[in-house]
Amino acid sequence: MEVNHILNEIPKLTSFKWYGKVTQVVGLLIEARGPQASIGKLCYISTEKKPSKKIMAEVVGFKDGKVLLMPFDTLQDIAPGSLVESTRNPLRINVGTDLIGKVVDGIGRPLQGMDSGKGSIPYPTDNAPPNPMERPRISSPLNLGIRAVDSLFTVGKGQRMGIFAGSGVGKSTMMAMIAKNSDADVNVIALIGERGREVKEFIERDLGEEGLKKTIVVVATSDQPALMRIKGAMTATAIAEYFRDLGMNVTLMMDSVTRVAMAQREIGLAVGEPPTTKGYTPSVFAILPRLLERSGTNKFGSITAFYTVLVDGDDLSEPVADAVRGILDGHLVLDRKLANKGQFPAVNVLKSVSRVMKDIVAKDHIQAADKIRNLISIYEESEDLITIGAYKNGSNKDVDEAIRLQPQIISFLKQGNEEEVSFQESIDQLKKTVGKV
């Protein structure tokens, strides 16, 4: 009786509930007996060498009565029997207006030795998207300062766009131009899964001091654990949400959501999920909508978001691209063929679309944009004939016009990375380029 009574009490003891011990480490995964923590809870693992050095880890699953954890850091110094302590809370980051102009890691800690600043509050990273019924409709354009996009694929405040591109076709340059030229109150840029050198180049060369002024850069490089890369995407989104709730118009740029998907695949495979399309696990396709639906409008402000997706060549049917395209309100395709010709920004006009544009701009603007698309399409259809000189001028009125306007259209679409244009200038130049419609 007495013994049974004691045994019944044991699970209620806090030390039993909140602490556990490492039993095994397999690959990226730590197995522990205890603590009694649910999925997503943050734990600290004390290391063998220095009890003061604790490794942050998150509960990612359970198996045969054991708790499965993933570290935010390397597994170095974790030993059998290492103490696991549950914080009873999910990860929280420190956010505040002090973050503006700073570069932070995947969990919001400022790099370059800057402190996280006064006035910051703890903020969860994994938040629910706004209630769809309470989301205001997208009603006004956001000036991005990129002529080809503002005029032909006008993006509304709170719209979510994909940027589909391979490497070296101008994603980073475009994000930096948006950060510098757009009318947003604040920019949040997440660099996920890039190499350290690329990050440094982006911040110092593309963004520069001027671009960083109203920007927060969240960095989780390719050498960091998968969990840290996922958190980078969550943290950047959470920071954008914080500023949206202050009533601001925020732009969120995530480069790349493909690398976020790959990080989730790594975690999924480690915990034993089955691989499906292209080795991606089901949780990848569960996490994408949950992450991407968090941007957009809410009753306070807006997050206009750009998510880059790595695509090889013209293959837009790659599973991540496919999933992302279904969730977002449009996409820009950056074309390597155009980049190779030196046409920057390398926006493929015929393959890109903004699904919100027709609701937020004037009719004559839409007509001019349709006209330019039509001219480009006619030119492309006859391009082979034109280049070999087999097209005889005068055979077709429309083709004649497309050939005549081609040089103006190209120079209208081109924009140097230092060149600034206002929204109105872009539209005026569009109308001038296509003439009377």
Ligand X SMILES: Nc1ncnc2c1ncn2[C@@H]1O[C@H](COP(=O)(O)OP(=O)(O)O)[C@@H](O)[C@H]1O
Angle at 327 between CA 326 and CA 331, to 5 degrees: 75
Using CB distances below 5 to 8 A depending on partner kind, what does residue 125 bind out of ligand X, Mg ion, none? none
222 makes contact with ligand X (CB under 6 A): no
Q: Are strands 186-192 and 215-220 parallel, antiparallel or unpaired?
A: parallel
Comparing CB distances to ligand X, the nearer of 178 and 405 is 178
Using CB distances below 5 to 8 A depending on partner kind, what does residue 249 bind out of Mg ion, ligand X, none? none
* 292 touches 321 (CB < 8 A): no
- Sequence-ordered list of residues with C-beta below 8 angstroms from that of 80, at least 6 positions apart, any chain: 22, 23, 24
Distance CA 399, CA 380 (A): 10
Comparing CB distances to Mg ion, the nearer of 109 and 205 is 205
168 makes contact with ligand X (CB under 6 A): yes
* 413 touches 349 (CB < 8 A): yes
Comparing CB distances to ligand X, the nearer of 88 and 351 is 351
Nearest to 116 by CA among 104, 129, 132, 125: 104
Sole binder of ligand X in the list 164, 280, 306, 344 (CB under 6 A): 344
Size of the site for ligand X (CB under 6 A): 13
Using CB distances below 5 to 8 A depending on partner kind, what does residue 304 bind out of ligand X, Mg ion, none? none
Beta bridge partners of 44: 56, 85
Sole binder of Mg ion in the list 172, 187, 251, 308 (CB under 5 A): 172
What token pair was written down for 110? 């400022």
Beta bridge partners of 54: 46
Using CB distances below 5 to 8 A depending on partner kind, what does residue 34 bind out of ligand X, Mg ion, none? none
172 makes contact with ligand X (CB under 6 A): yes
Query: Least distance to ligand X from the beta carbon of 146, Å?
Result: 9
Comparing CB distances to ligand X, the nearer of 372 and 413 is 413
Query: Least distance to ligand X from the beta carbon of 167, Å?
Result: 5
**Residue 375 burial (CB < 10 Å; 0-12/13-18/19+)?**
buried
Using CB distances below 5 to 8 A depending on partner kind, what does residue 87 bind out of Mg ion, ligand X, none? none
**Stretch in the footprint of Mg ion (CB under 5 A) among 111-119, 152-160, 166-174, 318-326:** 166-174
DSSP 185: S
Give phi and psi for 20, each to the nearest 5: -150, 180
Query: Least distance to ligand X from the beta carbon of 255, Å?
Result: 7
173 makes contact with ligand X (CB under 6 A): yes
* 307 touches 292 (CB < 8 A): yes
Nearest to 324 by CA among 165, 143, 141: 165
**Stretch in the footprint of ligand X (CB under 6 A) among 39-47, 61-69, 166-174, 426-434:** 166-174
Sole binder of ligand X in the list 374, 417, 422, 429 (CB under 6 A): 417
Distance CA 251, CA 71 (A): 30
Beta bridge partners of 348: none
Asked, as a colleague might, if the bond just before 256 is cis with ω within 30 of 0, I would say yes
DSSP 29: E
170 makes contact with ligand X (CB under 6 A): yes
**Stretch in the footprint of Mg ion (CB under 5 A) among 2-10, 164-172, 221-229, 382-390:** 164-172
345 makes contact with ligand X (CB under 6 A): yes
Residue type, 79: A
Comparing CB distances to ligand X, the nearer of 202 and 280 is 202
* 348 touches 165 (CB < 8 A): no
Query: Cβ-closest residue to Mg ion?
Result: 172
171 makes contact with ligand X (CB under 6 A): yes
413 makes contact with ligand X (CB under 6 A): no
169 makes contact with ligand X (CB under 6 A): yes
Using CB distances below 5 to 8 A depending on partner kind, what does residue 416 bind out of Mg ion, ligand X, none? ligand X
Consecutive H or E run containing 133: none
Comparing CB distances to ligand X, the nearer of 178 and 186 is 178
**Stretch in the footprint of ligand X (CB under 6 A) among 5-13, 153-161, 167-175, 376-384:** 167-175
DSSP 112: T
Residues in contact with ligand X by CB under 6 A are 165, 167-173, 344-345, 415-417
Residues in contact with Mg ion by CB under 5 A are 171-172
